[in-house]
């Protein structure tokens, strides 16, 4: 039986990659901001329509570096409906995560619940553009400005997402991207931090390289999370084909939507007006009463037939042992996130899925 996986990495052409490797082998400059690092930063800044980007070795370190660079302390308001790295970065920064609930329409942080979570110790907000669906940027910024809070976006899902022609990455103080193999655009492991001015970009570049500003000068207790030349070369090749990959994903989303619209007990997201989506994920939400089967029953039924969805995000971060004793982890504080985490399955979604694959998946869901 052919296995249909939830994701599949976008891989560059091997011959082209080999040519670039040969060049790296000749130059013998394999890391520490070489030629391909510079080229990739430039190419990504252009593609993403942002002036300043700094590359990282993964998508978790830019979250932590953003918190450090903005000198965030005390409490950070965030969402429990995310990948665990979001909250971990706050913990590694020595701050206390404070969870607020999400809204059903985007699975992003509910801005109307932020103010009730603000205390004198609050210094920042870390929302997530879940599945690449932008959170309510304007409302969040208003609250942040009113209370003097920093906003750091976990934009790991939001590669190439635009609102009204502008990159979603221009919102807030900083946005972190992940280029992990499972994401729409990948460098195997990798990530980036989007900042809005040259001085901040310089500071971030120092911090990711031990705080070095020159051969003999260290200006800050930096750390090491640089992206090497091999993965930068890989990233340059993948950038050439990411639009095609997104177009393929969009087609698959269209097939899913067409077949699932009107199926009782199945909810899914449509495109948002004025938003350029990246179709990174296709979450569906199962209402047990209307659908007649629980999420887990459907999830395992699909698995039995070789179709591997992902319960993403389940369980909530607030239920993990490290975080469940936090006051904001209480179930009654997070009713929407709790409900959604029990309803969600992300259906297989990647650039190589065929129409035949999609039909097989849909046959298992639509009775």
Ligand X SMILES: *Cc1c(COP(=O)(O)O)cnc(C)c1O
Binding site for ligand X (CB under 6 A): 58-60, 82-83, 85-86, 128, 154, 156-157, 178, 180, 191
Q: How far is the CB of 183 from ligand X (least distance, A)?
A: 6
Q: How far is the CB of 191 from ligand X (least distance, A)?
A: 5
Residue nearest to ligand X (CB): 59
- Burial degree of 22 (CB within 10 A; 0-12, 13-18, 19+): exposed
Instruction: Give the Cα separation of 53 and 174 in Å (integer).
Output: 10
Cα distances (angstroms) measured from residue 208 to each of 69, 151, 161, 225 = 11, 20, 25, 5
| Residue with smaller CB distance to ligand X, 60 or 175 | 60
Q: How far is the CB of 72 from ligand X (least distance, A)?
A: 17
Question: Would you state the torsion angle of the CA atoms of residues 24, 27, 30, 34, taken in this order, to the nearest 10 degrees?
Answer: -100
| Residue with smaller CB distance to ligand X, 56 or 291 | 56
- Residues near 172 by beta carbon (within 8 Å), at least 6 away in sequence: 137, 140, 141, 144, 150, 151, 152, 153
Q: How far is the CB of 314 from ligand X (least distance, A)?
A: 14
Report which of 232, 252, 246, 249 is spatially closest to residue 179, judged by C-alpha positions.
232
Q: What is the strand order of the sheet 191-195 is part of?
A: 52-56, 191-195, 174-178, 150-154, 122-126, 75-78, 96-99
H-helix or E-strand containing 216?
Answer: none
- Residues near 227 by beta carbon (within 8 Å), at least 6 away in sequence: 37, 40, 55, 56, 57, 187, 190, 235
| Residue with smaller CB distance to ligand X, 62 or 111 | 62
Q: How far is the CB of 96 from ligand X (least distance, A)?
A: 19
| Residue with smaller CB distance to ligand X, 177 or 307 | 177
Q: How far is the CB of 78 from ligand X (least distance, A)?
A: 11
Instruction: Give the Cα separation of 236 and 44 in Å (integer).
Output: 9
Q: Do 33 and 239 contact (CB within 8 A), yes or no?
A: no
Instruction: Give the Cα separation of 218 and 269 in Å (integer).
Output: 48
Q: Do 134 and 155 contact (CB within 8 A), yes or no?
A: no
| Residue with smaller CB distance to ligand X, 37 or 157 | 157
Q: How far is the CB of 316 from ligand X (least distance, A)?
A: 13
Q: Do 75 and 95 contact (CB within 8 A), yes or no?
A: yes
| Residue with smaller CB distance to ligand X, 176 or 266 | 176
| Residue with smaller CB distance to ligand X, 140 or 365 | 140
Q: How far is the CB of 313 from ligand X (least distance, A)?
A: 8
| Residue with smaller CB distance to ligand X, 131 or 285 | 131
């Amino acid at each position: 039986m052919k296995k249909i996986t939830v994701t599949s990495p976008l891989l560059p052409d091997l011959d082209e990659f080999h040519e670039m490797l040969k060049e790296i082998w000749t130059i013998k400059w394999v890391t520490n901001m070489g030629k391909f690092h510079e080229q990739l930063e430039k190419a990504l800044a252009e593609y993403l329509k942002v002036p300043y980007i700094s590359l990282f070795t993964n998508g978790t370190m830019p979250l932590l570096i953003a918190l450090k660079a903005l000198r965030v302390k005390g409490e950070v308001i965030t969402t429990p409906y995310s990948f665990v790295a979001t909250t971990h970065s706050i913990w590694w920064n020595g701050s206390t995560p404070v969870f607020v609930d999400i809204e059903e329409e985007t699975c992003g942080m509910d801005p109307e619940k932020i103010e009730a979570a603000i205390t004198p110790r609050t210094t920042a907000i870390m929302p997530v553009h879940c599945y690449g669906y932008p959170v309510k940027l304007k409302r969040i910024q208003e609250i942040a400005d009113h209370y003097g809070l920093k906003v750091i976006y976990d934009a790991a899902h939001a590669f190439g997402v635009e609102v009204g022609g502008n990159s979603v990455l221009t919102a807030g103080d900083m946005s972190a991207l992940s280029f992990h193999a499972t994401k729409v655009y990948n460098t195997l492991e990798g990530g980036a931090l989007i900042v809005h001015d040259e001085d901040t970009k310089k500071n971030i570049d120092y911090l990711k390289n031990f705080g070095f500003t020159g051969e003999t000068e260290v200006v800050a207790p930096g750390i090491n999370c640089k992206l090497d030349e091999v993965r930068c070369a890989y990233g340059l090749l993948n950038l050439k084909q990411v639009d095609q990959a997104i177009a393929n994903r969009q087609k698959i989303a269209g097939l899913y939507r067409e077949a699932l619209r009107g199926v009782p007990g199945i909810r899914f997201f449509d495109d948002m007006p004025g938003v350029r989506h990246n179709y990174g994920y296709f979450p569906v939400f199962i209402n047990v009463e209307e659908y007649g089967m629980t999420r887990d029953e459907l999830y395992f039924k699909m698995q039995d037939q070789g179709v591997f969805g992902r319960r993403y995000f389940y369980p909530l971060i607030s239920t993990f042992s490290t975080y469940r004793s936090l006051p904001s982890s209480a179930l009654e504080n997070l009713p929407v996130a709790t409900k959604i985490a029990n309803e969600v399955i992300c259906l297989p979604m990647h650039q190589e899925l065929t129409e035949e694959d999609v039909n097989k998946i849909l046959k298992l869901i639509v009775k």
